[in-house]
Amino acid sequence: MTTLLEVQDLRTQFTTDEALVKAVDGVSFTLEEGKTLALVGESGCGKSVSALSVMRLIPWPPGRIVSGSIVFDGVDLLALREHEMGRIRGKEIGMVFQEPMTSLNPVLTIGRQLTEALELHLGMSRYDANQRAAELLRQVGIPDAESRLAQYPHQFSGGMRQRVMIAMAISCNPKLVIADEPTTALDVTIQAQVLELMKELTQRLGVSLIIITHNLGVVARYADDVNVMYAGKIIERGSAAQVYANPSHPYTLGLLKSVPRLDQPKTESLDPIQGQPPDLGNLPPGCAFQPRCRYAVERCTADTPILESVGDGHEAACWQIAEVAAAH
Amino acid sequence: MGQYVLRRAILAVPTIFASTLVVFLVLRVLPGDVALFIALGTDASGVADEAAIEAIREELGLNRPLPVQYFVWIGNALRGEFGESAFTHRTVAYEITSRLPLTVQLALMGQILAFAIGIPLGIVSAMRRDKAVDTISRFWSILFLAMPQFWVALMLLLFTSRVFNWSPPLGYFLLWEHPGNNMLQLGPAALVLGVGGAAIAARMTRSSMLEVLGEDYIRTARAKGLMPGVVIIRHALRNALIPVISLSAVTFAFLLAGTVILETVYSIPGLGSLMLTSIRTRDYEVIQALVLISVVVVILLNLVVDIVYAWLDPRISYS
Ligand SMILES: Nc1ncnc2c1ncn2[C@@H]1O[C@H](COP(=O)(O)OP(=O)(O)OP(=O)(O)O)[C@@H](O)[C@H]1O
Ligand SMILES: [Mg+2]
């Protein structure tokens, strides 16, 4: 099995008037070809910033990748020049954004927005690109593809727009698709359809997938591996099965307990995590989760825990791993 | 579309009537009337002979009650008759049509210069935000917004006459009869109008461009691997120009107002200078016709802008 993406000690920071926001703070992960990796965590923990860092789309000012390395398909992305990165974006890595309502250009037709990447990366003629665009729309389940191409984004519903975004992301046969909460903005019935579509397409086309979500149900169903993020760091990682069966970080445990599970008796009541996610510009010393953690001890306020193995390829960053394991 | 235009035209009727009424009343409220100026001479230096003035008033129909005067005027105007100047005794239609080409040309040249300078400047400013180009362009914008146009015009006139010993030719030159003299006469005035308009256009383009560059769809465009130039031209520009274009009807009205002063400074025999002289002498028929024209032009302009707007922004449809 070959490694497609290897992120090492990535740090991305935003300089705001009030503080230095360490949105991504020493994140490392690898993605094997053909696999699906889920990035999970509460709002504001740095999931989107991680994804945008891989695409090198962090807006400067105020944001900047300050250190680390991102090796994609053997190429160090952080060493590329801007125009070289332009050959990776859209061609090798496709991205689906969190906000389908605003991610399409309101004054260009859907067709034009699909064909421009095809013309740029695959050197297609306008005619061929149009044919291919129609085929892509059919692939993502948009009926009446030919006439839809001439329409504008406002003539599409949210779910349809997200399908267009997916079509765009896969249009140039990328090796990797990054889907940043592709369904958060959609209503529940549409969510499942869009996710199924992504799963089906990536499997059929052999594309690797990074799926960002805060829905653990999505993880269980669609991901091979999981990275759980908290305050800019990965605090637990492992295969989806391992993390489900044996959550080793109190935060992961908390996440699992805060959603209803079909594999548990109904009598078990929900137990959401107390408190608010921390302010990334002003983190407490030690473990960032410690103020909300029911297992916290003295040490957690002083030393920052690092990832340690808790099983085959399963790691967690917590000083109280043994207590957490004993408790469930 | 046709229906939309028709609806707008119908809506314009009350606006036009209201404006004629306002102008009519304002003119009558102003101290002094045209009879006085005719009797005394335009500089009002003569000695008033009440009987003579009264005779002139009688002749011009100024002794009739105001509502009667208004309706007589409106009635004639509706039939396309705008009367004649109380001073020159030429028809108002002649006075206006002979001067119209100069003013139209001046305003168009000013507007084209304003967009041709202002929009690119605004784009570059936004793309190089807070860099030297941006700072310089913003400084110039503020400067030209702050300086009154008549002053800039006078300074330019002074500059060319002192340094190059040159001033624009005086007289009446139509573009298609005397292109050289025409451009020399209108050029400096158009330039002054243009840089003033460019200052506004640059500021609007810059702020609107900055807003658009922060939009999600710009990030999508970049995520496709498009070159920065393509992102700007294909994805950002059209969106950024929507507010600039929709405000241009208003800025063009300001520009038209500016022609009044510039025509006077540069002795251009256009509508602006006609307006000024006729206000000074209370030449009612001429002023009323001029205001009527301005109102119609501004209304038409708004309509044109709305149509361009719909073409730029597919979310808007007038059908
Ligand atoms: N342009 C920016 N300027 C300043 N701070 C930013 C910017 N973008 C992101 N951040 C900060 O980076 C942190 C991580 O943001 P990010 O968007 O990655 O969160 P997320 O995990 O994707 O959350 P969500 O689930 O809400 O999408 C946040 O604290 C946010 O305040
Ligand atoms: Mg996000």
Is A61 a member of any domain? yes
Chain B residue numbers touching A181 (CB-CB < 8 A): none
Asked if the structure places residue A32 within a domain, the reply is: yes
Residues flanking ligand 1, CB < 6 Å: A 14, 16, 21, 23, 41, 43-49, 59, 62-63, 98, 181, 214, 280
- Cα end-to-end distance, chain A, whole Å: 34
Nearest CA owner, ligand 1 atom 24: A43
B89-101: average pLDDT: 90
Share of chain B above pLDDT 90, in %: 38
Nearest to B221 among A91, A105, A152 (CB): A105
Assigned domain for A118 exists: no
Long-range CB contacts (within 8 A, 24+) of B152-156: B152/B192, B152/B195, B152/B196, B153/B188, B153/B189, B153/B192, B153/B261, B153/B262, B153/B265, B153/B266, B154/B265, B156/B188, B156/B191, B156/B192
SS3 category, A177: strand
Residues around ion ligand 2, judged by CB within 5 A, are A 48
pLDDT computed for residue B159 by the predictor: 92
Query: If you count residue pairs, one on A and one on B, with CB atoms under 8 Å apart, how many are there?
Result: 74
CATH architecture of the region B92-312: Orthogonal Bundle (1.10)
Average pLDDT over residues B151-171: 89
Q: How far is B171 from B165, CA to CA, in rounded Å? A: 19
Q: What is the pLDDT of residue A325?
A: 79
Q: Which residues 6+ apart lie within 8 Å of A298 measured at CB?
A: none
Average pLDDT over residues B304-310: 84
What is this structure's pTM?
0.84
Q: Whose CA is nearest to atom 30 of ligand 1?
A: A44
Phi and psi at residue B114, to the nearest 5°: -60, -45
Residue B47 pLDDT more than 70?
A: no
pLDDT of residue B58: 81
A100 located within any domain: no
Q: Is A152 helix (H, G, I), strand (E, B) or coil?
A: coil
Average pLDDT, chain B: 88
Backbone Cα Rg of chain A: 21
User: What CA–CA distances, in Å, run from B138 to B95, B144, B196, B203, B208?
Assistant: 42, 10, 13, 7, 14
For atom 27 of ligand 1, the residue with the nearest CA is A43
The three-point CA angle A134-A135-A139 to 5° equals 120
3-state secondary structure of A40: strand
B214 or B32: which leads in pLDDT: B214
State the Cα–Cα distance between residues B228 and B248, nearest whole angstrom. 28
In this complex, the residue of B221, B225, B315 whose CB is nearest that of residue A154 is: B315
Confirm whether A153 is domain-assigned. Answer: no
Task: Answer for the pair A26, A57: CB distance below 8 angstroms, yes or no.
Answer: no
| pLDDT 10s digits, B207-244 | 999 999 999 999 999 999 999 999 999 999 999 999 99
Contacting residues of B for A120, CB less than 8 Å apart: 224-226
Give the structural domain span for A58. 3-92+174-326
By the 8 A CB rule, do A9 and A69 touch? yes
Candidate of A15, A25, A48, A98 to mutate for ligand 1, largest count of ligand atoms within 8 Å of Cβ: A48
Atom of ligand 1 nearest to the CA of A62: 3
Three-state SS annotation for B146-194:
HCCHHHHHHHHHHHHHHHCCCCCCCCCCCCCCCHHHHHHHHHHHHHHHH
Structural tokens at position A253: 């445990």
Residue A31, domain member (yes or no): yes
Residue B42 confidence class, pLDDT cut points 50, 70, 90: low
The minimum-distance atom of ligand 1 relative to the CA of A52 is 18
pLDDT > 70? residue B86 = yes
d(CA A166, CA A140): 7
Question: In total, how many domains does chain A have?
Answer: 1
In angstroms, the CA A228 to CA A235 distance is 6
Q: pLDDT by residue (tens digit) across A96-151? A: 998 888 999 999 999 999 999 999 999 999 999 999 999 999 988 898 999 999 99
Residues A67-96 as b/e (b if ≥16 CB within 10 A, e otherwise) read ebebbbbeeebbebeeeebbebbbbbbbbb
- From the number of C-beta atoms within 10 Å of its C-beta (0-12, 13-18, 19+), residue B30 rates as exposed
Chain centroid offset of residue B156 CA: 21
Q: Residue A95: helix, strand or coil by DSSP?
A: strand
Low-confidence ranges of chain A (pLDDT < 50): none
In contact, B149 and B261? CB cutoff 8 Å: yes
Query: Which three-class secondary structure state does DSSP give residue A76?
Result: strand
Nearest to A82 by CA among A104, A62, A63, A58: A58
Six token digits for residue B232: 């700007």
**Residue A16's domain is classified under what CATH number?**
3.40.50.300
Cα angle vertex A310, ends A307, A312, to 5°?
Answer: 105
Inter-chain residue contact B225 with A57, CB threshold 8 Å: no
> For residue A11, is it within any domain?
yes
Q: How many CB atoms lie within 10 A of CB A98?
A: 19
